[in-house]
Amino acid sequence: MSECRPPAPGPRVNALRRRLLAALPLAVVPPAAAAVSYPDVRPGETFRFPRDHGAHPEYRTEWWYITGWLRTRDGRDLGVQITFFRSRPDLDATGRSRFSPAQLLFAHAALADPRAGRLRHAQVAARAGLGLAEVSSETTDVQLERWSLALDGDTYRARIPAGDFELALAFRTDRPPVPQGEDGYSRKGPLARQASRYYSRPHLAVSGTVRTPAGTDAVTGLAWLDHEWSSEILDERAVGWDWIGLNLDDGSALMAFRIRAADGTTLWAGGGLTRRDGTARRFTEREVRFTPARLWTSPRTGTHYPVAMRVETPDLALDLSPLLDDQELDSRASVGTVYWEGAVMASASGRPVGRGYLELTGYWRKLRL
């Protein structure tokens, strides 16, 4: 982990902070208000769709996470990430003003473009309600300023008018959701409460347009969606995690992760391989290994990221290489951290076998959710 001091946030970051703070009243909770009580994620529950495609506002944290590879008509590869976060503030609703923020919403979007040589990314944040942002508890339908993600039948539709790029994409699925962990109960640590409710939608067929300063491109591709909610994930010893979601060429889908301690050792690990026919194998914490293969150092924060990684499970040994090294996201103006989220290619014994995304958190600083 880097020990260098990160640069001060720039004008765009500070402007976004001011907009979020302006949406929050100066005195939203009476002095007698108590801390909120969050429910634990418990094993043995079952998903109920379409309701569980929607928000779960009683839990502390939730996200809808889309990552994927796009291809333009002239054959250029692009990586795309779209994420909407929901957070329930640590304040009891009893006696609060109606202007108090019951929910906060954040969103990130990024475009990995080798032609640009860097990651294009943007972020927005607002409190829910008062016309600023809305999230449905009935199905996936999140609106944040002009950004949106909504599930329409078997298709997720995203519209992201960001600063120097714009995304208008549809993500279609012909497969049921894939529960991760034990029927959707995904352990992230040694304690039972350190868990999330978690399902994935791999092998999403992508179509739509991408606009950059170079012009507008029609694109197709393949993507992955994660929907996850929890009240407590990380053990106090954890600094962050490494995670992969890979669409493999044989139609199967691999998810694997490890929770890291400050010395780089693994505190917990897990994941699963889902085959094209829907059968799956789930991995225990001892069956997943991440081994850094090459480090890249950010020129902005000085953080060292293992952007090339070897991942081993009982069924596969894969070598991951990035579409481009510079896929660092500075999200201090919204969720308060800097992390690496990158498009990667997967190979086995030197042969390409799939594509997906690698996420690296806690390398800049200890991750605090």
Which CATH number characterizes residue 232's domain? 2.40.370.10
Q: Which of 221, 214, 236, 262 is nearest to 364 (CA)?
A: 262
Is the distance from CB of 155 to CB of 171 less than 8 angstroms? yes
pLDDT for 333 beyond 90 = no
For residue 344, is it left (φ>0), alpha (ψ between -120 and 50) or beta?
beta
Q: Is the per-residue pLDDT at 31 higher than 50?
A: no
Secondary structure of residue 368 in the 3-state scheme: coil
Give 313 or 334, the one with higher predicted confidence.
313
In a domain, 219, yes or no: yes
Mean pLDDT of the 283-298 span: 96
Q: Number of folded domains in the chain? A: 1
Q: What is the Cα–Cα distance from 303 to 318, expressed in whole angstroms?
A: 25
- Tell me what pLDDT residue 100 has: 53
Amino acid at 121: H
Which domain, by its residues, includes 280? 49-360
343 found inside a domain: yes
Interacting residues of 20 by C-beta distance below 8 A, sequence separation 6+: 125, 126, 127, 333, 334
* Contact between residue 315 and residue 342 where contact means Cβ atoms under 8 Å apart: no
Reference 253, options 329, 355, 339; nearest CA is: 355
Look at residue 132 in the predicted model and tell me its pLDDT. 81
Q: Is the dihedral of CA 125, 129, 132, 137 positive or negative?
A: positive
The reported pLDDT for the residue numbered 293 is 97
DSSP-derived letter for residue 129 is B
Please give the Cα distance from 65 to 184 (Å, whole number). 16
For residue 11, is it within any domain?
A: no
Q: Is there a domain that residue 35 lies in?
A: no
pLDDT of residue 32: 44
Is residue 24 predicted with pLDDT exceeding 90? no
pLDDT of amino acid 369: 66
Residue 306 included in any domain: yes
* Lowest mean pLDDT across 21-35, 259-273, 300-314: 21-35
pLDDT tens digits for range 146-163 = 999 999 999 999 999 998
- For the segment 49-72, what is each residue's pLDDT rounded down to a tens digit? 999 999 999 999 999 999 999 999
pLDDT at 358: 98
Is residue 7 a part of any domain in this protein? no
Residue 249 in domain: yes
Both structure tokens of 216: 């507008």
Is residue 30 over pLDDT 90? no
Pairing status of strand 141-144 against strand 133-135: antiparallel
Residue 256 lies in a domain: yes
Who's near 263: CB < 8 A, 6+ residues apart? none
pLDDT of residue 36: 79
Beta bridge partners of 26: none
